[in-house]
A and B are shown apart, each in its own frame.
Chain A
Amino acid sequence: MSLVAERAQGVADGRRARAGERLLACEGLFHLYMLEGREVVALQGVDFGVDWGEMVALLGPSGSGKSTMLAILGGLERPSAGRVVLDGIDVSRLSEAQLTVLRRRRLGFVWQGAARNLLPHASAWENLDLPMVLAGLPAARRRKRAKVLLDAVDLGAQRGKPIRALSGGEQQRLAVAVALANNPPLLLADEPTSQLDRANVRRVVELLKEARDDLGTTVVVVTHDAEVAAAMDRTVTIRDGRVSAEGRGGAEYAVVGPTGSLHLPAHALDVLPPGARVVVEVEGDQVVLKPTDGAIPPGEGGS
């Protein structure tokens, strides 16, 4: 079922027309924070961009900085350095009031677990209504849009039910619907499928695709789920606070960092394990890494 209501069609068309243009750009993102007296570097110079209508998955091991980055993209965290530009707006320079408006109109969020997505003591319909109330939509329009969204996520019959009466999958589908209530151009999702079974994972992924297809919504998803990653247009791997690799169409590419650093993919690490010394040779348009036996020859700094 379509997520599109009448008025949203034009908006969706407008977004689709801008496919290929940059919607979201991160330039040189650095982020530090203090944890029990120690300084932690979460992001070390991240350059990252998302085009209109793209579906991007952020991958990486725990602690790599994915969630931090998502929070910065959503204006929930301010970077220590660097810029985040959303449709020409420098998000990192906005005031709290401006960020609130931004979240209201231009961003949708789906978090892991229902507690962060839904009001526990409100019904499905009331949860869907809240963001539209905050956006100041008139009641009639809210009702119509809510119906469309609830039907689209197969919760039309449960509109009056309290949240606790819904299953985990239903709650997460509802969370997607709530995130789309104000038809934001960018949807940010942090592990939206981590607590779901396979069937529900697929359904949520379908919904995200419908949002892109029907509403022109750009989607950025943080995930550990390979199936979810595979369903995205592009994957970006964050490791040690940097973009280490990108993937598209099943192929993965290592990304050279701003200082020339390179994260080798896992299969390459079998040949060149961490700590191994290599000789880097440029042969034409190729860069070749040749492992050594570990000894440094005389005259090159050895003794």
Chain B
Amino acid sequence: MSSLRLALRGLRARAGLSAALLAVTTFAVGVGAAGAIYLRTAGESLLAQNLRSATSHTAGLHVSQVVADGRELRELTQSVAAAGPAVPALAAPVTGLETRTPIELLAEGGRPGSAYLASRDGICDRLVVEAGRCPVARPLGLPAEVAVSRRTADWLRLGPGDRFQAKGFGAGAAGRDLVVVAVYTPTPYDPYWFGAQPAYFPPPPTGNELPPLDAVFLAGGDLLPVIDNGSLDIRARFDHFVQPDRMRLADTAAVPPALGQVAELLRINNPNAVVLTGLGGLVAKAEADRQALTVPVLLADVQLASLALLILIVVAAMAAEARAGEVALAKVRGATTGQAFGLAVLELAMVAALALPAGLAVGWLGALLLARTQFEAGIPVVVTPAAVAVAVAATVVALAAASLASLGAVRRRILDQWRRGRSDRVGRRAVVLDVVLLLVAVAALANLRASGTRQASGGYDVLATLAPGLAVLAAALVVGRSLPVVAGWLVRLTGRSSGVATWVGARQVARRGGPALRVVIALAAAFGLVAFAVTVRQDMAHNRHDRAFTQVGAAEQLRVSVPRDALGPERVAEADPSGQAAMAVLRYPGTMRDAPAVRAILLGVQPDRYQAVGFWRGDFAGRSLEDTMAALAASPVAPLDLGRADQLEVTVAATAVRAEGPVRLVALVQGASRAVRVDLGRLEAGAARPLRGRLDPAGGPWRLQRLWVQREPGVTSAVGVALTFDSVRAGQGDAWRLVDGFDDPARWYSLNDNAYEPGDSLTATTAADGAALSVAIDAPSSGVTLGIGHASVPEALPAVVTPGFLRAVSAEVGRVVRVRGPIPGDLLIKVTGVATVLPGAVSSDAAAFVNGDWLLVHAQRNPIDRPQSDEVWTVGGARGRAVTERLGAGGVRVETRAAAADIEDDLARQAPSLALLLLLVGAAAGAALATGGVMLHLYLTGRRRAFELAVLEVFGARRRDLWGPVAVEQGALVGYGVLCGGIIGLLVALVALPAIPQFADRPSLPPPIYTPDWATLGLALGLAVLLVGLGLAAVVAALVRQARPALLREEEL
């Protein structure tokens, strides 16, 4: 009889235990393999994510050179073609030609301006043409077809078919006209432009400076001749886009040398060529991200492997006990302890041999499932040589652990085995070791908390991440050892119980020995890790959510292009009349006058909509969101309500009018959905007279916000005038009503913002009809805004600011701060509150929330200004999509969309989240295995006692008095393990979370909140108790179902 056959027979005879052993060993091997596979896959995903999220010009390769002639262009093209294949992940280049600098544009009737002339491969597929068609190359004798932007067309006063010239653009010595065939809409967020956006689509001009205009696009064939005629410097550019799907981790090591090879080749052949790429940096970052992931994943793996080994030791010990009788028999027949051990190890080795491929498969499957939910789509999940090596090592370790667990039964004396008088009492040395281990783990945790949040800069805090898991395992050991003590308490508690089940069951628990303690330890460890992982993961999920929403500002942030005749909020109001789904936002970057080096961000939000749309958390400010927003909308002065007037009348007298041309009075009125400018007419010296303008009643109700003194076109001289404002009236048909009598100077302020000296003076005076407002203006020739504003739009905008904002200017609440930005002059803001975090503005330490509608009013410094709110925040989901559709129908085009959910997903792919996901999934699987193993153990131990219970039953004891104690005993053991484990895991998580930054994704804005998700925890624990309880009930039922005669068959084989 061969040992192999005997071992096979033994495995088959103890099929249940063998299956449990195989399952646990497979789990141990699978955990090891999964970690390695997961790491590799995560690395690939991080690489792909980095490549996809980077801008096209960062991830790609840009080659450009100012070419003197066609030959040079050809040489450059050949060199680029030769160098390209060095990096297979780079696509064939998109070529383009452009002028080296903006070219002066000359159009009849238009204003002076300049812009780049550019051509690019495939431009007709990417240009968004509002009117006309994409330009095509034409013969040299004909004007070159071009596409211009709406802004350029307006500035140059061009329309489709109009001709203009670009200085230096010609064929040979003669100039060549350009003819507009298309008006396009700039798409600065399209990656197709490969970093040329700032040149092709510069920001709008401010003041009267000569602005750069949007690029003029033409066919490449029309720019080629310009290269040779030498009048314009033409730059050829070759933009290689990266193809993330064609780059794998294995390729990354070759990227830097390949890029160097490309640069070298071009340097040799084309020394004037410029080579730019950020691909090497991206690859290096991806590698750094992968390495950052390595340690936490490995540590999660170590903890899972420890759990697996713990469960394996429990199951192996059970299997060894089941085999112990045969071992004793073999020793009676003359087998040495070594031979008996060898036979046991042979069985275990057969299990291990099966577990190796099974574990690899399980590990691969687990990694695949995790990858599907967490990683970039299309990332391959492969079994790497490292995974195989780890699996083999895990198999060897598992075999060794199981063999050691079997040693006790093998070494037991024959008679001890038959008498079943083996000592179940735990050795004192084991208890001391467990307590020491727990004290070490607790000390490590205490040290973590005492030392505050650890900064893992440049390295990884192994202790910080390993301590919690070790604490759980150590605490589980002590929990198991404490069972007899707790059982003793239970015995005293049930001493007077009249219930047989509880009385007997408690005493059965009290006399439990080693195997029962192992059950409790296994359950406590497994469920402790689950509770720990669930708590930490839920906490991280909440904080990720908060972080993502804080970064975006709301569920969704849209960057939009608003039609020229709109400001933005009115379109949002049309798309979302309820105010519950969308909000217009104006982002205003600037610096502070008293701290010019500090960059600040002002976010103009809509206070009446923010509560429904924007993100807020109770700990951001010291007061509620409602109060915070109310402060932003607080105006001490009621608006000038014109109602649904069809006419606006301002009675004003002008004296000492000094200007080199006419000046007019223009009113800014805000309607229900838009702001309009009402030209009230010329200001002429003389007595007070009414100046009127028309309003559209349907656009009302209207509110008067500004009265500008506007120079007529062509007038740029200094302006001096003394105005006496007498009244404002609103007319509806033939009926007029007085709106304001200018009797309180405090309700008006000058719009010159101290831009010149002496400043405007506003004083109370008396006119024919009573009180009046006297305004004296003596402005120099410049783009200074002239006029007065009504204080219903405060001169100093109330603002909620960040602490960094206050620190920058050493200000406090109540102080007025000046901010300089795109709006000429200073924007005044008055600090009304402080918030630690302002959603949507986390990129700047100095940030402020202001009233967006009022900010837009201030942005309209003069009647020709067209500031626009180019951001819309929505609540996302179906309602957000509906708003987006309605915005589109209203002419608002969505350029980009940022969703908080996407950022949450990205954050979930950072190292700590990924490692914790692995820990959670592994711990859950471990808990399931531990439960299965424990149920098997309970069944086997229950069977051993079933005989004695059957005998008692024959003697007349009731079934419930016999099986009740069994149920109480088993339930107490299992419940003690599960509940203690859950509590341990939760406590360790609460202690560890605040101290370990690895459990909080960086950066940490807003500050993480460490609050257990009691609902999820309760659900998880309840589910665990339910499943374990069901398993227990199944075990007891299976034991009870055995027929009485069967139970009385003693020593049945």
Q: Which residues of B contact A178 (CB under 8 A)?
A: 333
Instruction: Check B6 against A103 for contact (C-beta < 8 Å).
Output: no
Q: Which residues of B contact A163 (CB under 8 A)?
A: 1053
Is A122 interfacial (CB 8 A cutoff)? yes
Is A85 interfacial (CB 8 A cutoff)? no
Instruction: Check B334 against A101 for contact (C-beta < 8 Å).
Output: yes
Instruction: Check B415 against A71 for contact (C-beta < 8 Å).
Output: yes
Instruction: Check B330 against A122 for contact (C-beta < 8 Å).
Output: no
With A and B bound together, what is the CA distance between A130 and B326 in angstroms? Answer: 12
Q: Which of A76, A134, A164 touches B415 (beta carbons < 8 Å)?
A: A76
Instruction: Check A115 against B6 for contact (C-beta < 8 Å).
Output: no
With A and B bound together, what is the CA distance between A77 and B413 in angstroms? Answer: 9
Instruction: Check B6 against A118 for contact (C-beta < 8 Å).
Output: no
With A and B bound together, what is the CA distance between A281 and B197 in angstroms? Answer: 132
Q: Which residues of A contact B10 (CB under 8 A)?
A: 121
Instruction: Check B13 against A121 for contact (C-beta < 8 Å).
Output: yes
Instruction: Check B1053 against A105 for contact (C-beta < 8 Å).
Output: no
Q: A103-B332, A134-B330 are in contact. Are A115 and B1051 (CB under 8 A)?
A: yes
Instruction: Check B415 against A77 for contact (C-beta < 8 Å).
Output: yes
Is A217 interfacial (CB 8 A cutoff)? no
Is B609 interfacial (CB 8 A cutoff)? no
Contacts of B1-41 to chain A: CB distance below 8 A: 1, 5-6, 9-10, 12-13
Is A155 interfacial (CB 8 A cutoff)? no
Q: Which residues of B contact A117 (CB under 8 A)?
A: 329
With A and B bound together, what is the CA distance between A163 and B9 in angstroms? Answer: 12
Output the nearest chain A residue to B6 by Cβ-Cβ distance.
A122
With A and B bound together, what is the CA distance between A120 and B6 in angstroms? Answer: 11
With A and B bound together, what is the CA distance between A118 and B12 in angstroms? Answer: 17
Q: Which residues of B contact A119 (CB under 8 A)?
A: 6, 9, 326, 329
Is B1050 interfacial (CB 8 A cutoff)? yes
With A and B bound together, what is the CA distance between A118 and B337 in angstroms? Answer: 18
Instruction: Check A105 against B334 for contact (C-beta < 8 Å).
Output: yes
Contacts of B750-775 to chain A: CB distance below 8 A: none
Instruction: Check A116 against B418 for contact (C-beta < 8 Å).
Output: yes
Q: Which residues of A contact B5 (CB under 8 A)?
A: 126
Is A211 interfacial (CB 8 A cutoff)? no
With A and B bound together, what is the CA distance between A163 and B711 in angstroms? Answer: 115
Instruction: Check B1050 against A131 for contact (C-beta < 8 Å).
Output: no
Contacts of B305-350 to chain A: CB distance below 8 A: 325-326, 328-337, 339
With A and B bound together, what is the CA distance between A126 and B6 in angstroms? Answer: 9
Q: How many residue pairs bridge A and B at CB < 8 Å?
A: 73
With A and B bound together, what is the CA distance between A71 and B332 in angstroms? Answer: 11
Q: A114-B1053, A116-B325, A129-B1 are in contact. Are A121 and B333 (CB under 8 A)?
A: no
Is A133 interfacial (CB 8 A cutoff)? yes
Q: Write the nearest CB–CB distance from A104 to chain B, whole angstroms.
A: 3
Instruction: Check B13 against A131 for contact (C-beta < 8 Å).
Output: no
Is A257 interfacial (CB 8 A cutoff)? no
Instruction: Check B1050 against A100 for contact (C-beta < 8 Å).
Output: no
Instruction: Check A109 against B332 for contact (C-beta < 8 Å).
Output: yes
Q: Select the residue from A114, A118, A133 with max chain B CB neighbours within 10 A.
A: A133
Output the nearest chain A residue to B8 by Cβ-Cβ distance.
A121
Instruction: Check A116 against B334 for contact (C-beta < 8 Å).
Output: no
Output the nearest chain B residue to A35 by Cβ-Cβ distance.
B421
With A and B bound together, what is the CA distance between A129 and B329 in angstroms? Answer: 13
Is B414 interfacial (CB 8 A cutoff)? yes
Instruction: Check A126 against B1 for contact (C-beta < 8 Å).
Output: yes
Q: Write the nearest CB–CB distance from B339 to chain A, whole angstroms.
A: 7
With A and B bound together, what is the CA distance between A134 and B12 in angstroms? Answer: 23
Contacts of A137-187 to chain B: CB distance below 8 A: 163-164, 178, 182
With A and B bound together, what is the CA distance between A119 and B323 in angstroms? Answer: 10
* Residues of B in contact, count (CB < 8 Å): 27
Is A97 interfacial (CB 8 A cutoff)? yes
Output the nearest chain B residue to A163 by Cβ-Cβ distance.
B1053
Q: A113-B1051, A130-B1, A164-B1053 are in contact. Are A182 and B334 (CB under 8 A)?
A: yes
Q: Select the residue from A101, A117, A125, A134 with max chain B CB neighbours within 10 A.
A: A134
With A and B bound together, what is the CA distance between A113 and B1050 in angstroms? Answer: 9
Q: Select the residue from B329, B336, B413, B415 with max chain A CB neighbours within 10 A.
A: B329
Instruction: Check B333 against A120 for contact (C-beta < 8 Å).
Output: no
Q: Write the nearest CB–CB distance from A183 to chain B, whole angstroms.
A: 13
Q: Which residues of B contact A97 (CB under 8 A)?
A: 336
Q: Which residues of A contact B415 (CB under 8 A)?
A: 71, 76-77
Is A135 interfacial (CB 8 A cutoff)? yes
Q: A120-B13, A126-B1 are in contact. Are A115 and B335 (CB under 8 A)?
A: no
With A and B bound together, what is the CA distance between A97 and B334 in angstroms? Answer: 10
Q: Which of B9, B337, B339, B1050 touches A134 (beta carbons < 8 Å)?
A: B339
Q: Write the nearest CB–CB distance from A86 to chain B, whole angstroms.
A: 15
Q: Write the nearest CB–CB distance from A289 to chain B, whole angstroms.
A: 40
Q: Write the nearest CB–CB distance from A5 to chain B, whole angstroms.
A: 19
Q: Mark A58-85, 1 if CB is under 8 A from B, else 0.
A: 0000000000000100001100000000
With A and B bound together, what is the CA distance between A122 and B1050 in angstroms? Answer: 20
Q: A76-B414, A100-B336 are in contact. Are A121 and B9 (CB under 8 A)?
A: yes
Q: Write the nearest CB–CB distance from B785 to chain A, whole angstroms.
A: 99
Contacts of B404-444 to chain A: CB distance below 8 A: 413-415, 418
With A and B bound together, what is the CA distance between A121 and B8 in angstroms? Answer: 10
Q: Select the residue from A77, A113, A121, A126 with max chain B CB neighbours within 10 A.
A: A121
Q: Write the nearest CB–CB distance from B350 to chain A, whole angstroms.
A: 14
With A and B bound together, what is the CA distance between A134 and B327 in angstroms? Answer: 13
Q: Write the nearest CB–CB distance from B556 to chain A, whole angstroms.
A: 66
Instruction: Check A114 against B1051 for contact (C-beta < 8 Å).
Output: yes
Q: Which residues of B contact A120 (CB under 8 A)?
A: 13, 326, 1053
Q: Which residues of A contact B334 (CB under 8 A)?
A: 100-101, 103-105, 131, 134-135, 182
Instruction: Check A115 against B330 for contact (C-beta < 8 Å).
Output: no
With A and B bound together, what is the CA distance between A220 and B418 in angstroms? Answer: 20
Instruction: Check B1 against A115 for contact (C-beta < 8 Å).
Output: no
Q: Which residues of B contact A130 (CB under 8 A)?
A: 1, 330, 333
With A and B bound together, what is the CA distance between A134 and B1053 in angstroms? Answer: 23
Output the nearest chain A residue to B336 by Cβ-Cβ distance.
A100
Q: Write the nearest CB–CB distance from A114 to chain B, whole angstroms.
A: 6
With A and B bound together, what is the CA distance between A129 and B5 in angstroms? Answer: 13
Instruction: Check A115 against B1053 for contact (C-beta < 8 Å).
Output: yes
Instruction: Check A118 against B1053 for contact (C-beta < 8 Å).
Output: yes
Q: Select the residue from B10, B330, B415, B1053 with max chain A CB neighbours within 10 A.
A: B1053
Q: Which residues of B contact A100 (CB under 8 A)?
A: 331, 334-337
Instruction: Check A116 against B329 for contact (C-beta < 8 Å).
Output: yes
Q: Which residues of A contact B339 (CB under 8 A)?
A: 134
With A and B bound together, what is the CA distance between A178 and B330 in angstroms? Answer: 12
With A and B bound together, what is the CA distance between A105 and B335 in angstroms? Answer: 11
With A and B bound together, what is the CA distance between A71 and B414 in angstroms? Answer: 10
Output the nearest chain A residue to B335 by Cβ-Cβ distance.
A134
Q: Which residues of B contact A133 (CB under 8 A)?
A: 1
Q: Mark B95-126, 1 if CB is under 8 A from A, else 0.
A: 00000000000000000000000000000000
Q: Write the nearest CB–CB distance from B1047 to chain A, whole angstroms.
A: 16
With A and B bound together, what is the CA distance between A116 and B325 in angstroms? Answer: 7
Output the nearest chain A residue to B2 by Cβ-Cβ distance.
A133
Q: Write the nearest CB–CB distance from A103 to chain B, whole angstroms.
A: 5
Instruction: Check B1053 against A104 for contact (C-beta < 8 Å).
Output: no
Q: Which residues of A contact B1 (CB under 8 A)?
A: 122, 125-126, 129-130, 133
Q: Write the nearest CB–CB distance from B380 to chain A, whole angstroms.
A: 45
With A and B bound together, what is the CA distance between A150 and B339 in angstroms? Answer: 26
With A and B bound together, what is the CA distance between A109 and B326 in angstroms? Answer: 15
Instruction: Check A134 against B333 for contact (C-beta < 8 Å).
Output: yes
Q: Write the nearest CB–CB distance from A78 to chain B, whole angstroms.
A: 10
Complex A-B: 14 CB contacts under 8 Å? A76-B414, A77-B415, A100-B331, A103-B332, A104-B333, A114-B1051, A115-B1051, A116-B325, A120-B13, A121-B13, A122-B1, A122-B9, A125-B1, A178-B333
Measured CB to CB, the residues of B under 8 A from A are 1, 5-6, 9-10, 12-13, 325-326, 328-337, 339, 413-415, 418, 1050-1051, 1053
New A-B contacts (5) at CB < 8 Å, excluding given A96-B337, A101-B334, A113-B1050: A103-B331, A116-B418, A126-B1, A134-B330, A135-B334
Closest 4 CB pairs of A and B: A104-B334, A121-B13, A120-B1053, A121-B9
